[in-house]
């Protein structure tokens, strides 16, 4: 019984994108909070330092619903490989969000996985929120791809 309840109270969504730039370039854009207003459709402002144990602040504009401010705790910062954060309402809900970067094409490209695992008693009631978050992740990944492939380390990329 406890296993079935735990399964009902857990949902994971993820999406991927391949970016035609090295993981270091993807990481540079992903972690440049000052640049978010220029390209990020979901997070219009981000503040804080990506240091494990610390909190960062994101001003979200989800695809559906009102803008909100969240303050997740930084869990993992592994440059050009993984970024993981967790936000929660203790005892009721938690969301662990991640980005994983995997080199492809002999390091010339990057396979990016973005996802979130939602846990808690209210998760069965959050079907719409979970579905909407997947749409937001897909929009974010598309915008990240455009940004990284057109602007890298301060230089515009020349057309092929």
Q: Can you tell me the mean pLDDT for 61-69?
A: 87
> Rounded to an integer, what distance in angstroms lies between the CA atom of residue 158 and that of residue 153?
13
Taking the C-alpha atoms of 144, 148, 150 and 156 in order, what is their torsion angle to the nearest 10 degrees? 150
CA–chain centroid gap for 83, Å, is 8
| Region of poorest pLDDT, from 2-16, 26-40, 75-89, 144-158 | 144-158
| Per-residue pLDDT at 159 exceeds 50 | no
pLDDT on residue 6: 64
Classified as helix, coil or strand, 151 is strand
């Amino acid at each position: 019984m406890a296993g079935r309840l735990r399964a009902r109270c857990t949902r994971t969504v993820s999406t991927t994108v391949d970016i035609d730039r090295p993981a270091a370039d993807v990481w540079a854009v992903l972690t440049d909070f000052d640049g978010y207003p220029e390209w990020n459709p979901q997070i219009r402002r981000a503040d804080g330092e990506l240091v494990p144990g610390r909190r960062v602040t994101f001003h979200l504009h989800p695809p559906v619903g009102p803008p909100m401010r969240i303050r997740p705790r930084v869990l993992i910062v592994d440059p050009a490989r993984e970024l993981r954060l967790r936000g929660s309402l203790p005892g009721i809900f938690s969301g662990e969000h991640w980005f994983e970067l995997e080199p492809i094409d002999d390091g010339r490209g990057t396979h990016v996985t973005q996802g979130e695992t939602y846990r808690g008693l209210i998760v069965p009631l959050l079907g719409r929120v979970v579905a909407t978050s997947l749409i937001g992740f897909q929009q974010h990944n598309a915008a990240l791809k455009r940004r990284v492939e057109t602007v890298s380390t301060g230089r515009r990329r020349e057309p092929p």
